[in-house]
């Protein structure tokens, strides 16, 4: 396994809309393994391929968020249902050392393919639902800071320029 470099805001790759994966090649499998390793070593709960500079529709989620307690790797994930709202604190490996409360759907249903190209569906709520929404946003070039109010955004920009130094 190889450790990948996590791209940080304002790297333009984080704004790219990731391309669908049509073929699950060994390169994709290796990318998924490397992303999982990179995420764990960075103490992240999830990671999208854009964040390691490869804009394809692949996300990984840490096992501790999964009731089945195994890591999740999702190819071409889409949210097919959202229900209710909840506000919870979020952070992002691509926006280091910044945390803010963000409103998300409380429950989601996600459809995706696994690494054997088998389609599956996950219905969930709580931290896993939050992680899916956050990571799938990445695939669409969206960051959690995009949801900040204009005032919070300007405070963020000032703070972040200091953090980045
Ligand atoms: Zn993130």
CATH number for 125: 3.90.45.10
**How many Cβ atoms are within 10 Å of 133's Cβ, its own excluded?**
19
Domain count, the chain: 1
Q: Would residue 63 count as lying in a domain? A: yes
Angle at 9 between CA 165 and CA 107, to 5 degrees: 130
Active site residue ranges: 135
Give distance in angstroms: CA of 130 to centre of ligand 1: 11
Distance (angstroms) between ligand 1 centre and the Cα of 9 equals: 10
Q: What is the DSSP track for 63-95?
A: GGGSTT-S-EEEEEEEEEEEEEEEEEEEEETTE
* 125 Cα: distance to centroid of ligand 1 (angstroms): 18
Asked whether residue 140 is domain-assigned, the answer is yes
10 CB-near residues (< 8 Å, 6+ apart): none
Q: How far is the CA of 68 from the centre of ligand 1 (A)?
A: 22
Residue 81 within a domain: yes
pLDDT on residue 2: 85
pLDDT of residue 164: 65
Does the residue 3 lie in any domain?
no
Whether 1 maps to a domain, the answer reads: no
Angstrom distance (rounded) from CA 69 to CA 67: 5
Cα of 93 to ligand 1 centre, how many Å?
6
Q: What's the CA gap between 108 and 130, in Å, rounded?
A: 9
Tokens of residue 72, six digits: 């999740």
Q: What is the pLDDT of residue 165?
A: 61
Per-residue pLDDT tens listing for the chain (165 residues): 789 999 999 999 999 999 999 999 999 999 999 999 999 999 999 999 999 999 999 999 999 999 889 999 999 999 999 999 999 999 999 999 999 999 999 999 999 999 999 999 999 999 999 999 999 999 999 999 999 999 999 999 999 988 766
Tokens coding 114: 């696994």
Task: Give the pLDDT of residue 161.
Answer: 86
- The two tokens of residue 74 are 């999702």
Residue 92 confidence (pLDDT): 98
Domain of 143 in residue numbering reads as 12-164
Cα separation, 27 vs 24, whole angstroms: 8
């Amino acid at each position: 396994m190889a450790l990948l470099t996590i791209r940080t805001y304002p790297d333009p790759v984080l704004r790219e809309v990731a391309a669908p994966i049509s073929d699950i090649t060994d390169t994709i499998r290796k990318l998924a393994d490397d992303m999982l390793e990179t995420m764990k070593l960075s103490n992240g709960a999830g990671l999208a391929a854009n964040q390691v500079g490869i804009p394809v529709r692949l996300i990984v989620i840490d096992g501790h968020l999964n009731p089945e307690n195994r890591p999740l790797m999702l190819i071409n994930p889409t949210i097919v249902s959202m229900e209710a709202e909840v506000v919870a604190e979020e952070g992002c490996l691509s926006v280091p050392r910044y945390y803010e409360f963000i409103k998300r759907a409380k429950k989601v249903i996600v459809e995706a393919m696994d690494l054997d190209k088998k389609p599956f569906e996950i219905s969930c709520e709580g931290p896993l639902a939050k992680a899916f929404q956050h990571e799938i946003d990445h695939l669409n070039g969206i960051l959690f800071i995009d949801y900040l109010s204009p005032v919070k955004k300007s405070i963020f920009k000032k703070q972040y320029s200091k953090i980045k130094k």
